[in-house]
Chains A and B, each alone.
Chain A
Amino acid sequence: MDYSAFISSMVKMVIVLGFVMLMVPMLIWMERKVLADIQARMGPNRVGPYGLLQCFADGIKLFFKEDVIPAKVDKVVYVVAPAVSMTCALAVFSVIPFGGLRPGEGTAVAPDINVGLLLVLATMSISVYGIVLGGWASNNKYSLLGSLRSSAQMISYELSLGLSVIGVLMLSGSLNIVDIVNAQQKSTWFLILQPLGFVVYLVSAFAETNRVPFDLPEAETELVAGFHTEYSSMKFAMFFMGEYTFVMAHAALVTALFLGGWSGPVLPGIFWFLLKMFAVIYFFMWVRGTLPRLRYDQLMSFGWKVLLPLGLANVFITGLMLSLWQSMG
């Protein structure tokens, strides 16, 4: 058997996972600094230059905190739930092509999966289980309510997420994300060809990751801390990291699907990919510092009554345009 392909993809996986796990503390730092900029204050600037070591200090603190497990929880489920959340977030990264070292070259990380986009959507759906199980196993009615609200929200917005992606799918003709990026290199960024799809995807991504303006399940004034009330130390850290990993995953997907992935002049592809990804992440944090929170019923009615019809309209219009264009030769 030929082990070299296996070993090379293993090495690539380790590199990507290592990168993602290191980037999550950086995202936390970036969020605090970006929010501070918006709010006319300085963020962390004591621990390390520009406060860069603050996230590691937080990580070490969380690591050493006492791990409290309440008495009547369902022990197995309680421990597994954050792991589900975190694992699914990391699994999404296995199919995202990051971009190579030469300008305009891309490399898929894992074996080039033909149905990469489908895998991503499916994995995101499974991650909802982490939240549901976490809230249920906590044996706390507020956690349960928070987790139910959160999972209902995530399931509703997955529909519009999938629909917004169908437009991209029609334009590129493949579920393979590498092919999608290549198709964008041939024509233009799908942002321009699919503006409605881009907006629908972005809004659904905010709702999927439980971020403002859709962060009612986490709102401290509403449900203590929602589904992760009873969690402490590393399990809480895993939920937290899972959320930030999802933010990164969605940003990476937006870059790959709508913003042209790794394409860009002169500089290596991976540089352009990371630049666009961090621009999207900056946008996530910028919105967090700006918009107020939606009430839960407003949130649900927006998802079903506005985004879902918009997604369907997008599919319809894209299909119409494509068939017109094809019939014109």
Chain B
Amino acid sequence: MSAETIWAAIKGLRLTLRHVFKEPRVTVQYPEEKKPHSPRYRGLHEQRLTPDGRQLCVGCSLCAAACPVDCIYVEAGEEEEDSGRYLSPERFARVYKINMSRCIFCGYCVEACPTYALGMTKVMDELVFDNRWNAIWDMDMLIENFRRRMREEGIEIPEPKQPAASGGAS
């Protein structure tokens, strides 16, 4: 243990003592303070609507095919006549569920969507659940996420109309 080692140790102690008196600290006091997200931050999904409130998703399930974790479930359906809820009565997603406890937020599903119906928001705070069933987000919840984001930007998208008795979205 030479003199240089001892002097190095003393210099190290001086450095750490300097840090004690240095503000600011790097701690971010979540949830009061939050670090800003990048513009393309991948958070909770949204299912988009047309400006007059029609669901864009056609139920092609390309997102489910693209998902590496296999956490999207899609059932397609058709209706006899146009109920005003869907983009086209020929084909829509009757059942659409994403299991958020399995989602890895990679964004492959969003890249796969051919109608730009599926998107990703920067929301993460809503993703709190205390049982496994609350982790499954269905179509209504994802549409609501989209409408809330639109409302924050000042655009009011009307609520999607109730579907006809046969078929039905979930």
Contact = CB atoms under 8 A, between A and B. Distances in A.
Given A40-B26, A41-B26, A286 B19 contact: no
A60 B71 CA distance: 39
A287 B26 contact: no
Given A291-B9, A302-B1, A306-B1, A38 B26 contact: no
Interface stretch (B10-18, B34-42, B108-116, B138-146): B10-18
A174 B82 CA distance: 102
Interface in A3-40: 34, 36-40
Which of B15, B16, B22, B29: most chain A Cβ within 10 A?
A: B16
Contact of A290 (B16, B25, B26, B29): B16
Interface in B34-70: none
B26 A289 contact: no
A286 B26 contact: no
Contact of A39 (B13, B19, B29): B19
A152 interface: no
A275 interface: no
B1 A289 contact: no
B36 to A, nearest CB: 19
Contacts of A41: 25-27
A311 B29 CA distance: 49
A41 B17 CA distance: 14
B3 interface: no
Interface in A263-289: 286-287, 289
B20 interface: yes
Contacts of B19: 37-40
Contacts of A42: 25, 27, 29
Nearest to A288: B16
A84 to B, nearest CB: 33
Interface residues of B, number: 14
Contacts of A290: 9, 12-13, 15-16
B25 A38 contact: no
A286 B24 CA distance: 19
A292 to B, nearest CB: 9
A71 B34 CA distance: 47
Nearest to A283: B13
A291 B9 CA distance: 7
A41 B13 CA distance: 17
A286 B25 contact: no
Nearest to A46: B29
Contacts of A34: 20
A40 B26 CA distance: 6
A36 B27 CA distance: 10
Nearest to A294: B1
Interface string B96-133: 00000000000000000000000000000000000000
Given A302-B1, A306-B1, A289 B16 contact: yes
Contacts of B27: 41-42
Contacts of B15: 290
Contacts of A39: 19
Contacts of B25: 36, 40-42
Nearest to A43: B27
B134 to A, nearest CB: 25
Nearest to B22: A40
Nearest to A203: B1
For B1, B15, B19, the residue with the greatest tally of chain A CB atoms inside 10 Å of its CB is B1
A289 B29 CA distance: 23
Contact of A37 (B13, B20, B26): B20
Contact of A286 (B1, B13, B22, B29): B13
A289 B27 CA distance: 18
A69 B15 CA distance: 44
A81 to B, nearest CB: 33
A318 B9 CA distance: 27
Given A40-B25, A289-B16, 10 more contacts: A36-B25, A37-B19, A38-B16, A38-B19, A40-B19, A42-B25, A42-B29, A287-B13, A290-B16, A306-B1
| 10 closest residue pairs by CB, A with B | A37-B20, A42-B27, A38-B16, A290-B16, A41-B27, A290-B12, A42-B25, A306-B1, A290-B13, A41-B25
